[in-house]
């Protein structure tokens, strides 16, 4: 049976556990839990990501962006996933608006 997890390709690299009844594996749960509470920890977020997950920032955000698009993640933690989707959409819109602005004369 195929796993519907957004981390299918990274499971071997990250030694992820099989998804639970929500369809989210342990690493995915840890990432969502971290996103819920990272600002309560001391130190910068990027240092905490490297320390906790042993991932580069690029790897972490690639996984996170695929994760927040999954229905399993939405079922696991709807508030965090919706907040992260809104933030991502705002950043995308701001980039699009910046590109669409005519140059100042």
SS3 (DSSP) at 102 = coil
pLDDT at 1 over 50: no
How many angstroms separate the Cα of 105 from the Cα of each of 17, 18, 46, 95, 98? 56, 57, 39, 21, 16
pLDDT at 16 over 70: no
Mean model confidence pLDDT for the chain: 83
pLDDT per residue over 45-95, tens digit each?
999 999 999 999 999 999 999 999 999 999 999 999 999 999 999 999 998
Cα three-residue angle 59-63-68, rounded to 5 degrees: 150
- Biggest CA pair distance of the chain: 60
Give residue 40's Cα distance to chain centre: 18
Q: What is the pTM of this model?
A: 0.73
pLDDT at 97: 87
């Amino acid at each position: 049976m195929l796993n519907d997890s957004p981390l299918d390709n990274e499971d071997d690299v990250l030694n992820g556990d099989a998804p639970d009844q929500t369809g989210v594996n342990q690493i995915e749960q840890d990432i969502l839990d971290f996103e819920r509470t990272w600002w309560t920890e001391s130190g910068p977020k990027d240092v905490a990501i490297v320390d906790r997950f042993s991932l580069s920032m690029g790897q972490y955000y690639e996984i996170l962006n695929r994760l927040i698009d999954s229905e399993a993640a939405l079922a696991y933690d709807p508030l965090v996933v919706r907040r992260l989707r809104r933030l991502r959409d705002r950043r995308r819109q701001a980039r699009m608006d910046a590109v669409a602005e005519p140059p100042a004369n």
